[in-house]
Structure 1
């Protein structure tokens, strides 16, 4: 019976990946290949080599050829051979790697001291303990089918929880079978418009589509990447001027709005215009996409209900937990008219990069247990306090700069004296502040008169760092005599 070490060593023979090409006798070629394997580290010091009989059989060489190669390398000091221990790579220091010229270090911009960009909730406030409790409960009670192929609609537990929550908190008329879970609003828009999927010849929806003249850049980018032309609508103190939809040429097929809290200017869509845009969609077989990105966060009154409640067959309600919980929880949803459900599911496909089923079950428990409502109430109080602190600081130290829009959401717009936006953004960067000017969100084809302003996200800084961020912002603002 062969000794155990022989078996293990013999298995090495087929894994040496020796290059036996090149000029010279078979013995010379084998010696050269073994030297290279040691130099490159593929044969480390102390590695036991296969017996010469086994290596000869693996490589198709004569036994004497391999035995002579081993003997030569032992004589040169590359290998050692001892009775009872076999042939091994010599235990010696590996040759130093060839010197390389150091690459110049890439110059990285310093991280901002204060993050006042919009869109991010306070990361430190993520409800870790409550989320973990829901995750444990969801996993413990999950049926075995959870760990098999999923439903492209999303887990029914989450769709039921969302239907109840959205009806109660946002006035959405939602049947679980008309909810499709996705990884966020961007994912939802790609499913609706991506021309490489869905119905033949294009996505589920076709363009052109109207959008607000100031809005989220990723909205426009996703539509335009799918070949959908976007047409800007004007904005005033009552929100998007939806009456323009009747006169837009070429005629648009739909409109994408942020009606509860216009992004970024901050006003709600006026009730008369809410009714008007639904009437427009009914009259012309149009569609309204409603991004309800921070609808839960209204501070001066109860939140305005979702537009979708006026006509579930003409409005697609889009939402996610990226503002209320964290963008790290990649879960969003679409509440769809009945006639769009099959097309969206076809676009999503059987093996789409779906939101994690375990996260879906966790969120379902988080909602039904009441933990989600408690977290939203907590953050609503905290964000209201931050907005109030910002408004008070402006009134006391920079009264010529005002925060506009309703008391809602995770950001505010500060109106600046004409012609000062660019210089203030630069001054803020010198103060170590990351923020965006209002112009950053303007549609390139907008005809609405441009205004100077800053979009200030007051949610992202940690609680202990917020006062310092506001102080730094105030130092960057123009003096009052500029107005």
Structure 2
């Protein structure tokens, strides 16, 4: 007869339930093997200090469930085929973020204003009539488009009324729809900044577009080089170029607008992190200078959270109708409740308050990362400090990016190489995000990075390679 360790707490009551769950778990977990004989109801009741009726009821329940079988002449045994295989250790998660994660472009998700968002949701739903919970306008709810037009005009110097604003599910959707709309108008030649976001490159290629790269220098996009490409569409990040962090210089902004108007080309402006400007006032968006030639794209992915999948597109009039049509048949419209909530957050000033709060936090983290880099890796060059959620670290010539990245991972540190973001060769560099880690951990991350650079054969501490 099998002896059992079965924990039963008399003070908790429900003795039959406790015993049933304990025996069921023992069978499922393999502690009671198939065919094992259980004590008699009388013996188990005496062992556990229970009434025999409790044990009888427990055995009857487990027989009914198929875990036990009653065999005449040999008592009660564990049924065959009901034990689960021994638990295996879960495989390592390849997507688990390292202990020190400097992935660029990632906001601090712990800073999401949950209380303000919930309060705005309650207010919005309380005021909303039942009919508002049906399918909304695919171009976006009128109140949100009006709030966005006002917000973009006030903080980004955009020139747009509600009719020019379309609510989208993030910049990626906006760009996907735009590629589709422009393709229907005829063949297009796309240009991108070089280097640029690998996500943008992947998205364009997924839609059959192979873009041509245009060099970026310390003044931003080289417009003369752009003009030589014959491009009809160019994607730019003028407020804080990704990944170099450079701001498009005033003269280049004027050249870019002049090129677009003279050639009839379209400028697509990704305003991905322009809310975060630290050392001077934000630079106005390009769309405000040339609303007839610029598509302005933005989202809440950096300022609030990527999970919201909420953004906006400001389009020239001739494109707006076709874009709205494409939006309708892409998804029938962005989520209504999220739109109502964000409109409420905008109108009540909650979004502005949130931005002021996180801007101060990110500035302290920016300072901590930049100071630590200059101290621990003086032979490197730090750029892109004026804005955004990442810095651009140019490594000493000859340093192998991939070797540094691999050495960093061995130290539980993630950094992003710039090489995969290039369409043509360029100096070794890393893009380092500072949005997630607090100041003390950023300092430790730089210590690990300095070790990684040294171990990879570079000498960012001294300048020798």
TM-score tier by shorter-chain length is 0.7 to 0.9
**Structure 1 residue 432 corresponds to structure 2 residue 412:** yes
Indicate the residue corresponding to 2:193 in structure 1. Answer: 212
Indicate the residue corresponding to 1:24 in structure 2. Answer: none
Match of 1:137 among 86, 109, 123: 123
Counterpart CA distance in 2 for 1:366 and 1:105 is 41
**Post-superposition offset of 1:349:** 2.2
Indicate the residue corresponding to 1:324 in structure 2. Answer: 303
Q: Given the superposition, is the C-alpha separation of residues 241 and 329 from structure 1 closer, same or farther in structure 2, using an over 3 Å criterion?
A: same
Indicate the residue corresponding to 1:405 in structure 2. Answer: 384
Indicate the residue corresponding to 1:370 in structure 2. Answer: 349
Counterpart CA distance in 2 for 1:204 and 1:456 is 39
Match of 1:245 among 226, 229, 235: 226
- SS of the residue corresponding to residue 277 of structure 1 reads helix
Indicate the residue corresponding to 2:448 in structure 1. Answer: 472
**Structure 1 residue 96 corresponds to structure 2 residue 81:** yes
- SS of the residue corresponding to residue 288 of structure 1 reads strand
Q: Given the superposition, is the C-alpha separation of residues 432 and 301 from structure 1 closer, same or farther in structure 2, using an over 3 Å criterion?
A: same
TM-score when normalising by structure 1: 0.75
**Structure 1 residue 190 corresponds to structure 2 residue 176:** yes
CA contact (8 A) 2:189 2:232 kept: yes
- SS of the residue corresponding to residue 136 of structure 2 reads coil
Counterpart CA distance in 2 for 1:139 and 1:173 is 31
After superposition, residues 35-434 of structure 1 pair within 5 angstroms as: 95-97=80-82, 106-109=91-94, 111-194=97-180, 202-203=183-184, 206-248=187-229, 251-350=230-329, 352=331, 354-420=333-399, 421-434=401-414
- SS of the residue corresponding to residue 382 of structure 1 reads helix
Indicate the residue corresponding to 1:441 in structure 2. Answer: 421
**Post-superposition offset of 1:104:** 9.1
Q: Deviations over 1:4-45 (max 9, x none)?
A: xxxxxxxxxxxxxxxxxxxxxxxxxxxxxxxxxxxxxxxx97
Indicate the residue corresponding to 1:60 in structure 2. Answer: none
Moved more, 348-357 or 398-407: 348-357
TM-score when normalising by structure 2: 0.78
**Post-superposition offset of 1:216:** 0.7
Unaligned runs of 5+ in 2: 1-61
CA contact (8 A) 2:366 2:385 kept: no
- SS of the residue corresponding to residue 210 of structure 1 reads strand
Counterpart CA distance in 2 for 1:161 and 1:466 is 37
Counterpart CA distance in 1 for 2:268 and 2:171 is 11
Counterpart CA distance in 1 for 2:145 and 2:416 is 36
Q: Deviations over 1:104-130 (max 9, x none)?
A: 964544641111001110111111111
CA contact (8 A) 1:156 1:176 kept: yes
CA contact (8 A) 1:422 1:437 kept: yes
Q: Given the superposition, is the C-alpha separation of residues 377 and 101 from structure 1 closer, same or farther in structure 2, using an over 3 Å criterion?
A: closer
CA contact (8 A) 2:135 2:332 kept: no
Unaligned runs of 5+ in 1: 1-43, 48-76, 79-90
Moved more, 267-276 or 389-398: 389-398
